[in-house]
Amino acid sequence: MLYNNNQKIIKKLSKRNFKINKMRNIVSVIAIVLTTVLFTSLFTVGYSMLEAFNSYKFMEYGTLSHVQLQDISKEQIEKLKNHDLIDKNTIGIVKNIETIKNPELLTQTVNLAIYDENSIKNTLHIEMVEGKLPENKDDIVLPTIVLDLLKLPHKIGTEVNLEIPKVKGGNTTGETEIFKFRLSGYFKYKVSNVMNLHDVFASEVFYNEYRKYNEVGPTCVYFNFKNNKNLESQFNQVIKDLKPYSGKASLNPAHLDTQVNNTSELIKNVLPIILMIILILLSGYLLIYNIFYISVVKDIQHYGLLKTIGTSPVQIKKLVITQANTLCLIGIPIGLIIGYLLGIVFVPIVGNILNGLNRSSYNYFNPIIFIFATVFSYITVRLSCKKPAKIASTVSPIDAIRYSDRDNNIKKKSKKGKTGSKIHKMALANMFRNKKKAFLVLVSMSLSCMIFLGVATIISSSDPNKAADGQLLGDMEIQHGAVWQIDYEENPSIPMDENILKDLKNINEVDNIYTLYNGNNGAVYEGDLKEEVLTQEVEQSYKDLLYEGEDPKDIVEFQGVLPVDLMGLSSGILIDRMIENNDAGFYGDVKVISGEIDIEKFNKGGYVIIQGHEDSKIKVGDKISFKYLKNNLVEEGYTENEFEVMAILGGAKNFSISLYVNENDFKKVVDKPYIEKVIIDTNNKNDDKLENEIININEKYNNPYTKVYSKRIFIEEAKELQLSITIIGMSAVVIIGLIGVLNFINTMTTNTISRRKEFATIEAVGMTKKQLKKMLMLEGFYYALIITISNLTLGGVASIISFNIMKLRYSVYTYPIGDLLLCTIAVFLISLVVPLIVYKSLSKESIVERIRITE
């Protein structure tokens, strides 16, 4: 056979074939658009979240600078400016004055400081709302949160009075001096300020004037290296060159975190994206491959005829691929636009799910998003049409005439029967006449259903009410945020006034009031509690964080003090709620591992509940005694008490031990008992008026350390999170579901069309239209049945895996039975209705016309 290499005629044939296959083109473009939408949305969200996370890391640290040096001298600053490794243009200087001591700011740490231009430029976590930096002596710039605490308006020119303590010899004298300022600007935080640390900016003029009569705080320097590589070695070299330097030096961890340091981190960060890419590739491949495979099989005789006139296999392959490229030129741009717009919508929603990422840190646009989406979409299409193109190019002219879409390796046994062929058996045989095509449809539909069940599991398992229960022990709580600080000599906090309990009891809507007391001291390092603590597991990360890598057991033994978290409960009901809501401790699930909670006995007193671990030396029923220190100092004495162990809870580790006793027993043990929480049960869960009344009672006592919390707020936040997960998850389900449904519709349509002659023949020999419809419906029914079985088995596995990957702390696994039923009904409807609609359009032609069409 003589082949030619006429490229012009191949392009012409490709255009004609493209125009003829209108239905295939429409379905193919939709498939390519959906695939591209998924890729573009994924890359838009992924890139924006990556950028936001990187920005968030720098915002948390507070600066873009590589290094921070605290308490540095003028001479050392000059050394830095002339150092070979340092970019001198990035050096920023912060001059600290003192901590502001206004009564309204006692719960915060507000530092008055002078920031130069470079320091402000590198401070990422703040965003100026209005105004400018201080220039004159009385100019001041405050964060909005400090303005709110001072109850001042967000208005330029507002008078601001700040109390600054007097310092002599490095120590505060106990006196404060009030300085009057004028608000020249104010800023807000881009990330939540959970540490309650704030800087207030004054002018250089004020600083120079102030230091004439007062001592000032340390000077800090921020700078960048000229080279971003080997930051740690450069850092160490600079510190070495600054000797003698005794201040605190730190390398910005955000710069180190941007580099993946080990394989496990790489897997953790990259694996979810890879899995999503594979999932989208698979979904798109299943549909696009099936479309081209069906198209090639339908036109196989056409390709065979082309072979007879000298068309080479390479040219036929190019004929198929050229059509695929044309479809890509139409589908990919549309998909990029839709996907990008969806990505912009999804980014803030995902940020809300991940919590804490500010919208201003999102970077939606980058050309790499479109490059990656285009490349992966095109790869999907090319992979999909590779096998169909090979089939078209390798089939011989003789084979093309006899080519059927049924599997050639299926061997049929001859069967004899007295009652003729059974319709249900014919339907089953027809379904698997081409196993590959049937398999692709089943996988595509099942994949959509499994993803739907996975998302539905995550949604149904996250109960907003249970999430709120994990935050509060009652409908409302008044919490003291700094009980541990009450007895501190420096900056002591104010204890909660117990008269507040009487005021709360006078509210009609309040059913019950419980109190939780906390002790700030430790116990003498001896006896049963010593042995209990010594047997605990101590994690290396805990040692590094709090003990600088040393063994805490050695330190505790040296100090002679056991870190004991002693709590007094007004009722044993609270310990039940703590266990139920997983609020009793900070390390994993807390469950009763020994004994049982007897509320009546606990309320009478004489019992203790211990948070221990599986290998606890202390057993239920043991009498334990411990010496509880006064002011946390052995030399100041202790109280000694004995209690019977009622129950042991699990979860204790890292040298912590929690003891729960009755309120009256607590007051015997602790010489200065302070209320940490007031738990309030109400008979009206959503009453704004009641909430405001409790807030007003709290404010009446004018304690800056107490705050009212409502379960209703936590429920609303949990519902918002649930809605965000639903929107993201269901959007993916809808798109991938559409791919699966399109695959099924395309397969059933082409199957029915390609079997027109077959249907006409069996009608000619006696099969009625009613029987033919029944056979087609049974084919669809078998598809739906297999998909349903897949949902019940593999769908269950997908449900469990999704729950374990995405579960929140208070999620309880709930199998989505309602969603499974909905999915099953949808699958059966599509599977039964589509074949009938297609057949109805074909059956308008007479039997003779249908037989002649394929001749």
CA proximity to 481, closest of 706, 145, 672, 149:
706
CA 676 – CA 518 distance, rounded (Å): 6
Are 744 and 833 in contact by the 8 Å Cβ rule? The answer is no
**Burial of 645: CB neighbours in 10 Å, binned 0-12, 13-18, 19+:** buried
CA proximity to 547, closest of 559, 535, 531:
559
The whole-number pLDDT of residue 110 equals 87
Structure-token pair, residue 220:
């800090």
Say which residues have a Cβ less than 8 Å from residue 230's Cβ, sequence separation at least 6. none
Are 795 and 786 in contact by the 8 Å Cβ rule? The answer is no
Looking up tokens 């058996």, which residue turns up?
Answer: 425
Segment (H or E) for 566: strand 564-569
| DSSP code for 57 | H
Strand positions, DSSP E, 169-248: 171-189, 197-202, 219-225
Q: Quick check: bond before 143 cis, omega within 30?
A: no
CA proximity to 646, closest of 658, 661, 667:
661
Looking up tokens 């720098």, which residue turns up?
Answer: 58
CA 769 – CA 775 distance, rounded (Å): 10
Domain ranges of the chain: 8-59+262-404, 70-75+92-223, 470-711
Structure-token pair, residue 718:
């949990």
Give me the average pLDDT of each 10-residue run along the chain (855 residues).
62 78 81 84 72 60 78 85 88 87 81 87 80 92 91 93 78 78 89 69 90 78 86 85 77 62 51 69 75 75 77 83 88 89 76 52 69 88 85 77 56 52 78 76 81 82 74 86 62 80 89 85 67 65 54 65 80 83 50 85 89 74 79 67 85 70 87 86 82 90 85 80 74 74 74 73 80 85 90 86 70 84 89 82 69 55
Q: How far is CA 432 from CA 131, 435, 436, in A?
A: 74, 5, 8
The SS3 assignment for 249 reads: strand
Q: How many CB atoms lie within 10 A of CB 598?
A: 13
The whole-number pLDDT of residue 152 equals 93
| DSSP class per residue in 383-435 | HHHHHHHHHHHH--HHHHHH--SS-TTPPPPP---SS---HHHHHHHHHTSSH
Structure-token pair, residue 244:
């003698």
Residues linked to residue 223 through DSSP beta bridges, in sequence order: 67
**Burial of 8: CB neighbours in 10 Å, binned 0-12, 13-18, 19+:** exposed
CA proximity to 469, closest of 679, 693, 659:
679
State if pTM tops 0.85. no
Looking only at the bridges linking them, the beta strands covering 623-630 and 592-595 are: unpaired
Positive or negative, the CA dihedral 794, 796, 797, 801 is positive
Q: How many CB atoms lie within 10 A of CB 757?
A: 15
The whole-number pLDDT of residue 668 equals 83
